[in-house]
């Protein structure tokens, strides 16, 4: 069914055509009414509205940096497998050595994106919360190793079971579409329990 309505647009008032589904042909009476509307509007100097379609708005442009950051948030970074020997146990007063068993570099790409292939290289650093209220230690830009060569260690003062948290922060350098940059704030985290004992020497006579 075709009808007309008076509209107000950026160029003033005009007669616009509207169409709605009716399922039956338009009647002669309705056609006469439409003709009268058009004729009356023309007599009053009211033009027909511009029927040209309004162009669809274009999608906002995204920068390579935005695409790179969104892509990096979806990339699974390697998780370390921390360990304290022997069998997650330590002794008060003696150094507990943390073995990180992880990776400090992670490369990926080229992988497809909306702006073309992206390549990245992420560099990590370790931070350790020993679980006993002591300040977080780090950053460590090297792997933790076992006694006696390990450089990530801690002395517990009291017995108990502690949760050690190994946090790894990452900075990723990316290359995309002729551009390059870095993204910070990427973090992975792993925990392990450590049981601390006290040992006392006994002299037999």
CA atoms within 13 A on the CB side of 120: 30
Contact (Cβ atoms closer than 8 angstroms) between residue 85 and residue 137: no
Domains of the chain, start order = 2-43 (no CATH), 64-197 (2.60.40.10)
- Which pLDDT value is given to residue 73? 84
Q: Given the structure tokens 């090297």, which residue do they identify? A: 142
Report pLDDT for 17: 63
Tens-digit pLDDT profile for the chain (205 aa)? 455 555 665 556 676 666 554 455 556 656 655 665 556 556 666 676 665 555 555 555 788 999 999 888 888 899 999 999 999 999 999 999 999 999 999 998 899 988 899 999 999 999 999 999 999 999 999 999 999 999 999 999 999 999 999 999 999 999 998 899 999 989 999 999 999 999 877 677 6
Q: What is the DSSP letter of 34?
A: H
Model pLDDT, residue 124: 96
Residue 21, pLDDT score? 46
Q: What pLDDT score does 152 carry?
A: 98
Residue 195: what pLDDT?
A: 98
Say how far apart CA 36 and CA 23 lie, in whole Å: 23
Cis peptide before 110 (omega within 30 of 0): yes
For residues 192 and 84, the answer to whether their CB atoms sit within 8 Å is yes
Quote the pLDDT of residue 4.
56
**Residue 175 phi, psi dihedral angles, 5° rounding:** -135, 125
pLDDT at res. 31 = 61
Place of tokens 């079971």: 161
């Amino acid at each position: 069914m075709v009808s007309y309505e008076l509209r107000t647009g950026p160029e003033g008032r005009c007669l616009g055509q509207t169409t709605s589904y009716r399922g039956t042909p338009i009647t002669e009476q309705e056609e006469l009414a439409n003709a009268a509307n058009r004729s009356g509007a023309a007599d009053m100097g009211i033009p027909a509205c511009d029927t040209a379609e309004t162009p669809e708005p274009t999608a906002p442009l995204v920068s390579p940096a935005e695409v790179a950051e969104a892509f990096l948030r979806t990339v699974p970074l390697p998780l370390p497998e921390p360990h304290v020997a022997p069998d997650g146990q330590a002794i008060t007063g003696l150094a507990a050595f943390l073995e990180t068993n992880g990776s400090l570099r992670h490369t990926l790409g080229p992988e497809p994106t909306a702006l073309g292939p992206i390549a990245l290289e992420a560099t990590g650093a370790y931070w350790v919360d020993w679980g006993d209220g002591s300040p977080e230690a780090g950053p460590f830009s090297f792997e933790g190793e076992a006694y006696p060569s390990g450089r990530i260690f801690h002395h517990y003062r009291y017995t108990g079971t502690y949760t050690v948290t190994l946090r790894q922060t990452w900075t990723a350098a990316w290359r995309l579409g002729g551009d390059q940059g870095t993204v910070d704030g990427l973090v992975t985290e792993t925990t392990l329990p450590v049981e601390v004992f006290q040992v006392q020497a006994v002299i037999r006579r």
